[in-house]
Amino acid sequence: MLVRSLRRDWRRHLVVVTSDTVVRWHRAGWRLYWRWRSRSPGGRPRLTPEVQALMARMSRENQLWGSERIRGELLHRRYVVIDLVFDTREQAEAFLGFLKRQVWGVPANAPALAGAPQTMILEPAPPS
């Protein structure tokens, strides 16, 4: 009724549709909405706290290296990051000792490795 008093040509803009059309429009709207909600946030993927700690350690130990050099070292094939979770640091050190003695220490067990690789134990980041 309000439209009728405001616009004299309101009948020209009136569209009569079937219920199937309304349902189809509704479904299409929901598809667009969920596609928008499910999109990737974009930008650079987040780094895990362990990788952040490794980068900070590399930066402290090699103060002449810039960010590109650290990035290059991390991308280099000689770095392998293995994510293992232990209850205590002693368990992690015991497992690392096992790897050094039994796997990397015997050339027949790991012929592709020339000597023991450099290893480090990363502490989990404190919860924020």
pLDDT tens digits along 35-82: 999 887 777 777 778 778 888 888 888 888 888 888 787 777 555 666
Domain assignment present for 55:
yes
| 66 & 88 share domain | no
| 74 & 85 share domain | no
pLDDT of residue 23: 95
Structural Rg of the chain based on CA atoms:
30
Angle at 40 between CA 36 and CA 44, to 5 degrees: 150
Q: Which of 38, 41, 19 is nearest to 30 (CA)?
A: 38
On the question of pLDDT at 103 being above 70, the answer is yes
Host H or E run for residue 82? none
| 67 & 55 share domain | yes
pLDDT of residue 79: 57
Q: Across residues 91-107, what is the average pLDDT?
A: 82
Domain assignment present for 33:
no
Give me the number of domains the chain comprises: 2
Domain assignment present for 31:
no
pLDDT category, 3, cuts 50, 70, 90?
low
pLDDT category, 115, cuts 50, 70, 90?
low
Phi (first) and psi of residue 5, to 5 degrees: -80, -25
Top-ranked range on mean pLDDT: pick from 2-6, 18-22, 122-126: 18-22
Q: What is the residue-averaged pLDDT of the chain?
A: 79
What is the residue range of 92's domain?
Answer: 80-111
